[in-house]
Structure 1
């Protein structure tokens, strides 16, 4: 995912890039302090999102957003401004988001996840497909690979459970050393014949849960 940062203050640009540095899927393709350069940079780099200040000396950010909206394939625009009073006007030029300085990392990440739901790449024969992380119900370690189970289908990916959990901690919870489940779809936790099991909405089988994970689930962790 490529993004462009536009702000006439170099430190402000650097801060945004730093806030996004922990998102491995995001790459800063360019940055500029001149609003008049934005259109040419977008046409050259084709970013998916532009992080745009409003108050700049050579051109108002609202004007830039209007020009961007007229492109054939316009990027999404997130305004980052010290002036909350411009928010209503910003959405009038098709802004996808509005954050007030100083921007908090959690706010920025949450907004980007909303605009660009995270996806996982997998292969079917010679075809590459993409699966939104939100669709995954169960992830199960299978030798050197991981089996992803989603509604009415399965996929195998070359990612470990540890990697999945580190990348998407808000989505997955680990219930066993070889199993992750979708946190929001856990239906019930039961204890039968000396073992714990969890049911997940949309998945027909009960899933074994380790004692440590069961204690964490019961305590609300």
Structure 2
């Protein structure tokens, strides 16, 4: 009787990199690989999380140095999924290898990625993936950026999103206003708005986000403008964002998500 070799595993792969050229190159290499049947690209960690909520992937090839949520933090979130994908890091820096393997990555590729190294990584992935691919139930996406890392004097500590009353733009950074103080994080406010929109943070102004649960009332300022009052100060509300804020506050009040003192929308 003739023994036949098993067919190569057909892999569905998610590629994540915030640099368009690097993402394109990685996707091209993956699509040229015989083990890979489908490649989906994600240009940032939030998009990657949404993709993983809606679909199942055998492996995620991901960059480390990305704004907001870096690759190591994203991988840690993915490990919390009911059926986590196999993780392969693709990065220009070799100093994170120990941390990467500590998270459970099966390989660590340095850019520019060589075809033979990618083949090795895919072989490792294939050994980790079952041959049968039943469609799993929809997965719950891990909570993106429920805490933000804050660097200070060579130390990293984490600010919990639930402790943030409002956010103020400061160039390429944001200032997180909490009871424990003001914390500076390197991230554009537009990116943080994407991450925290589903957690009750609303844009009130070009340079401000506010937690709906932190708003005690809406006030008029001395020149007729609108302010959202919190226990840590007033947040300006532009005419462009006023209607949406009022509607969001009303819905939050109906759900019982505002402070006991009440909010006056």
Q: TM-score, normalised by structure 2?
A: 0.43
> Secondary structure of 1:208's match?
strand
Q: 1:123 to 1:199 in 2, by over 3 A?
A: same
Q: Is residue 131 of structure 2 the alignment partner of residue 103 of structure 1?
A: no
Instruction: Give the aligned partner of residue 48 of structure 2.
Output: 22
> Would the aligned equivalents of 2:220 and 2:226 in 1 still touch at CA under 8 Å?
yes
Following TM superposition, by how much is the alpha carbon of 1:183 offset from its aligned partner in structure 2, in angstroms?
A: 2.1
The alignment's TM-score, normalised by the length of structure 1, stands at 0.51
Distance apart, 1:153 and its partner CA: 1.4
The separation in 1 between residues aligned to 2:241 and 2:205, in whole angstroms, is 7
Q: 1:49 maps to what in 2? A: 80
Check 1:50–1:210 CA distance in 2 against 1; reply closer, same or farther (3 A cut): closer
Contact 2:177 2:232 in 1 (8 A): no
Aligned length: 142
Task: Evaluate the alpha carbon distance shift between residue 21 and residue 220 of structure 1 in structure 2; reply closer, same or farther with a 3 A threshold.
Answer: closer
The change in CA–CA distance for 1:162 and 1:152 in structure 2 (over 3 A counts) is same
CA distance in 2 between counterparts of 1:170 and 1:52 reads: 24
TM-superposition CA deviations, 1:64-114 (whole Å, max 9, x none) = xxxxxxxxxxxxxxxxxxxxxxxxxxxxxxxxxxxxx7634xx612xx33x
Q: Greater relative contact order (Cα 8 A, min sep 6): structure 1 or 2?
A: 2
C-alpha displacement at 1:21, in angstroms?
A: 5.9
1:183 paired with 2:212, answer yes
The 8 Å contact of residues 13 and 58 in structure 2, kept in 1 or not, is answered as no
Task: Provide the rounded CA distance (Å) in 1 between the counterparts of 2:172 and 2:47.
Answer: 28
Give the equivalent residue in structure 1 for 2:155. Answer: 127
- How far off its partner does 1:176 sit? 0.9
What CA RMSD, in Å, does the superposition of the two structures yield over aligned residues? 4.0
Q: Given that residues 170 and 183 in structure 1 are in contact (C-alpha distance below 8 angstroms), is that contact kept between their aligned partners in structure 2?
A: no
1:174 aligns with 2:200: no
| Unaligned segments of structure 2, at least 5 residues | 1-9, 15-39, 41-45, 60-74, 85-134, 250-265
SS at match of 1:103: coil
What runs of 5+ residues in structure 1 fail to find an aligned partner? 1-9, 32-44, 54-100
